[in-house]
Amino acid sequence: MLDYIVVGLGLAGVAFCEILEENNKKFVVFNDQSQTSSRIAGGLSNPVILKRFTLAWKADELIPESNMFYSKLEHKLQKKFLQDLEIYRRFFSVEEQNSWFEASDKKQLKPFLDPQLVRNYNYQLAAPYNFGSVLQAKKLDTENLLSAYTNYLIKKDLLQAQKFDYNKLIFHNSYLSYRGVQAKKIVFAEGFGLKKNPFFNYLPLQGSKGEYITIRAPLLKAQHAIKSSMFIIPLGNDKYKVGATYNNNDFTNTPTIPAKEQILKKLDEVLLCPYEEVAHVAGVRPTVKDRRPLIGKHPNHEQLLILNGFGSHGVMIAPWAANQLYNHIENNSPISIDADIARFESMKTI
């Protein structure tokens, strides 16, 4: 008898598995790698919404917790995934500069916005109004983290690399069984795969497809992430990840020509040096209509739990959300009211 079955191994699944290990819980993970949003993400832990110069949801609380989590994971796996990375917000006008100055003087934003303008000394970038610098930002190498954690679970015989068949899940009085595996609880951390989950598909998960292009630009030599109408994120070795797009109609993981053209058009407005395309990837973010996570128990089956809906802020949210869910299950602690799926209970019809 296991304590938990975990379905999905994006950032949400990894964060919850780590809590289970810390608390000596027995578990197994089912993952078919059908959801790619965590793996292909830009990986930025960004405390500020840079379109409006406002604090991201709970950023002052989430950032310290997520930094500690990834540092512990690095120590455990003996690999480096997290790095400091300032974000330079490119200004489009003097009015935007003034809005930045006003925002940087606000109590909540002071720790994250440098009030001093950053002059543009990089002649490969078109930035006549210069930049503002976002402090305490980080970049997480999500692809390498997920690959390393997958290998870790395989070595411990804790991973089943297969598609989860909801029809094979059997309910018993005090536990569940699935293909011969018995467990007290099951946590669904499937990202956009939730749309096919018959137990939780009543929740308003909308999904937003994002596409990134990786370029090689030897002359750019940028050491910071650059935010214009798109992000330009340094990857090392003269490579940069550029994106991402937002598409609320296409829910496939297939890269598209229109998205590529959109990214390159916006890139050409900023980048003055030559570059070559190296890769083009796509994934569907698990977004929710109120832009808040989905955490909690099924209203009719308390053995069924969900950890989802992080949108484009999974790097920051995942460790906090996993703790919220675990403490709710094991210690009966309340889930933050704006993240608890109880807010959508009226939408459950069966």
Q: Kindly report the CA angle at 149 between 294 and 140, in degrees rounded to 5?
A: 70
- Burial label for 193, CB within 10 Å (0-12, 13-18, 19+), is buried
> Residues near 298 by Cβ (< 8 Å), separated by ≥ 6?
199, 200, 304, 305, 306
> Residues near 65 by Cβ (< 8 Å), separated by ≥ 6?
319, 320, 323
Listed residue (340, 299, 322) closest to 6, CA to CA:
322
How do the pLDDT tens digits run along the chain, 350 residues long?
A: 999 999 999 999 999 999 999 999 999 999 998 777 888 889 999 999 999 999 999 999 999 999 999 999 999 999 999 999 999 999 999 999 999 999 999 999 999 999 999 999 999 999 999 999 999 999 999 999 999 999 999 999 999 999 999 999 999 999 999 999 999 999 999 999 999 999 999 999 999 999 999 999 999 999 999 999 999 999 999 999 999 999 999 999 999 999 999 999 999 999 999 999 999 999 999 999 899 999 999 999 999 999 999 998 999 999 999 999 999 999 999 999 999 999 998 766 54
Fill in the DSSP letter of residue 113: B
Listed residue (71, 74, 40) closest to 152, CA to CA:
74
Q: How many CB atoms lie within 10 A of CB 74?
A: 15
In angstroms, rounded to a whole number, what is the distance separating the alpha carbons of residues 117 and 55? 19
Go through the domains of the chain in sequence order and give each one's CATH number: 2-40+143-204+290-347 (3.50.50.60), 86-136+208-285 (3.30.9.10)
Which residue do the tokens 């917000």 mark? 89
Cβ distance 186 to 7 under 8 Å? Answer: yes
Question: pTM surpassing 0.75?
Answer: yes
Cβ distance 303 to 185 under 8 Å? Answer: yes
